[in-house]
Amino acid sequence: MTFPRRVRLLLGLLTMTSLLHAADLRIGLIGLDTSHATAFTEILNHSQAKDHVAGAKVVAAFKGGSPDIESSITRVEGYTATLRDKHGVRIVDSIEELCTQVDAVMLLSVDGRPHLPQARPVLAAHKPLYIDKPMAGTLRDVHTLARLAAESKTPFFSSSSLRFAKSSQAVRKGSVGTVTNAWCGSPASLEKTHPDLFWYGVHGCESLFTVMGRGCESVRRGTTAEGKIEVVGTWKGGRTGTFREIEGYKGQAQGTQGTAEVGAFDGYAPLVAEAVRFFQTKVSPVPIEETLELFAFMEAADESRRRGGTEVKLSEVIEKATRP
């Protein structure tokens, strides 16, 4: 039987769509010392999972682990066993081997310090790369990673899951007009191997930059009435954005058209969905310039603390971090 041309075209499109859905992207994980490894895999690999994200599956992983960070080395074997035994993920012996078996990579190591060396073979293999928080262990490494990705023409992005909360995204898209001032808070436990806010305060800082956007010029660090970390940033045009160390995740944004609650945590699924879309399109959901400014904000906060709470310009810490 010969079908009319329109019908043949429609059948062809349906067949192509079916093949695209059948051919899930193969994702590889680096760093099995964080609950993100098992949580992301559950969301991706199991259609019955709450908030399942279709289009990709975790198929292989390199376990990593940092001996000098207790929260890393005491957890890596347990998470590795869960991925292997519950989810059927292949555990490989090197990142180079991982790259031969996957279409895209999620770098999840809880320790930001090895992110640069762990990313190098991924960039060399030109695999699209998502880097979990913190992007790296120093501002210099953050800039080096961005430069190497650009030089290798490998698409990548880095973000906390907090960026993709509905409340923060609504404000970013203009629900209260131009944001004139905002505060966002999160826990901010410290890890001696990292700048103070890189380890956990990055979550609240990510929310802050989601609603404020780029343009932060200087930072002053102090403490709240309860003795917790408080960092006040001044943006171009006199806008202000504040990070506060608090219990939980919340904040508020004041705009030219109203006020909104922001800074919530909506789970991991929104981030995983954005990562899959990124792997499919090769288009980053987060401008790298904004990520670089976010990490300069956190580094400037440390420098302000070292100087007794005086104001520190972001341009100063960026110049130092990128100096040959």
Backbone angles phi, psi at 21, to 5 degrees: -70, -35
Each residue's pLDDT tens digit in the chain (324 positions)? 455 655 455 545 444 444 444 479 999 999 999 999 999 999 999 999 989 999 999 999 999 999 999 999 999 999 999 999 999 999 999 999 999 999 999 999 999 999 999 999 999 999 999 999 999 999 999 999 999 999 999 999 999 999 999 999 999 999 999 999 999 999 999 999 999 999 999 999 999 999 999 999 999 999 999 999 999 999 999 999 999 999 999 999 999 999 999 999 999 999 999 999 999 999 999 999 999 999 999 999 999 999 999 999 999 999 999 999
Q: What angle do CA 208, 106, 210 make, to 5 degrees?
A: 10
Distant-in-sequence, close-in-space partners of 216: CB < 8 Å, separation ≥ 6: 209, 233, 234, 235, 236, 241, 293, 296, 297, 314
Question: Domain 163-266+285-322 class?
Answer: alpha beta
Sheet hosting strand 258-262, strand order edge to edge: 258-262, 250-255, 179-186, 240-245, 229-235, 216-223, 312-313
Residue 253, both tokens: 């944004």
Closest alpha carbon to 134 in 315, 255, 292: 292
pLDDT in the model for residue 14: 47
In the chain, residues under CATH classification 3.30.360.10 are 163-266+285-322
* CATH superfamily for domain 5-158: NAD(P)-binding Rossmann-like Domain (3.40.50.720)
**Which regions of the chain carry the CATH code 3.40.50.720?**
5-158
Closest to 320 measured CA to CA, from 193, 164, 142, 147: 142
Joined tokens for residue 166: 């509905």
List, in sequence order, every residue forming a beta bridge with 179; answer none if it has no partner: 255
Q: Which residues contact 72 (CB under 8 A, 6 or more apart)?
A: 33, 34, 65, 66, 109, 110, 111
Distance CA 125, CA 32 (A): 21
User: For residues 141 and 188, what is the distance between their CA atoms, to the nearest angstrom?
Assistant: 21
Residue with tokens 């690999």: 45
Residue 295 has a pLDDT of 98
- Map tokens 């959901």 to a residue: 285
Q: Pick the closest to residue 243 from 233, 234, 253 (CA basis).
A: 233
Quote the tokens at residue 36: 């993100």
Query: What tokens appear for 144 in the block?
Result: 């080096």
Which is nearest to 108 in space by CA: 38, 195, 167, 192? 38
Residue closest to 102 by CA, chosen among 79, 124, 125, 119 = 125
Cα separation, 57 vs 122, whole angstroms: 18
Give the three-state DSSP class for 75: coil
What is the pLDDT at residue 25?
98
Instruction: Round to whole Å and give the CA distance between 47 and 125.
Output: 30
Of residues 145, 247, 234, the one with CA closest to residue 189: 247
Tokens for 300, please give them: 């400037």
Q: What is the pLDDT of residue 187?
A: 98
- Alpha-carbon distance of 142 to 149, in angstroms, equals 11
